[in-house]
Chains A and B, each alone.
Chain A
């Protein structure tokens, strides 16, 4: 099955700096890559996603890039704010054949210091 690796496991940045989280996947058939943000005591929430026919997607301060050849994708957060502090998970899926099952990375604990 699909294997998703995520790095780093922890990341500390100063408010206003950028943060980058990287993930790799093993199955070249994966075609859907969402990123989830999980705040303490809550379930994960989708913040951005990308499909394999797109190389980059941006939404205000967050962006995701995908390199299908290298099988890796990254989350970029610019102008970080303390409220960005949370655990971020990347995931991969093969739609529709795996029926939406998501394969998650182990998560990155992002801390933004004021």
Chain B
């Protein structure tokens, strides 16, 4: 079936502008995650959504970052007043609930954000 999709695949913006990144999770997956991958770094957790529960925003680096998930499906990550240090690949992942202590997260291809 269809995997996790993200759009756009690449985004170039100017410092100070706002950007929106979109994630379409696998149908039926209740959990959705956003991660950030900076050059030469591992994946840094940003935010997590599970069903109708309040999201875990503990990984958001500043109040310029926000995310929402509409109707329990599509998610949008918004970065306001972008800075050059926001340049990174933003990855979205989705998964089913933790059946048997197992949590395979399926990742999308990512959005490469470049802030000039």
The distance in angstroms between the C-alpha atoms of A51 and B103, with both chains bound, is 11
- Please count how many residues in chain A sit with their CB below 8 Å of the partner chain's CB atoms: 28
Chain B: CB-nearest residue to A105 = B42
Of A51, A100, A103, A104, chain B has the most CB atoms within 10 Å of the CB of A100
Q: Name the A residues within 8 Å of B108 (CB-CB).
A: 43
Given A51-B101, A93-B103, A95-B103, check contact A102 B109 (CB 8 Å): no
Given A43-B91, A51-B101, A95-B103, check contact A101 B45 (CB 8 Å): yes
The distance in angstroms between the C-alpha atoms of A42 and B112, with both chains bound, is 11
Per-residue B-contact encoding for A69-113, CB less than 8 Å = 1, 0 else: 000000000000000000001010101100111111111000000
Q: Name the A residues within 8 Å of B95 (CB-CB).
A: 100
> Which residues of A are at the interface with B, using a C-beta cutoff of 8 A?
4, 6, 31-32, 34, 36, 41-46, 49, 51, 89, 91, 93, 95-96, 99-107
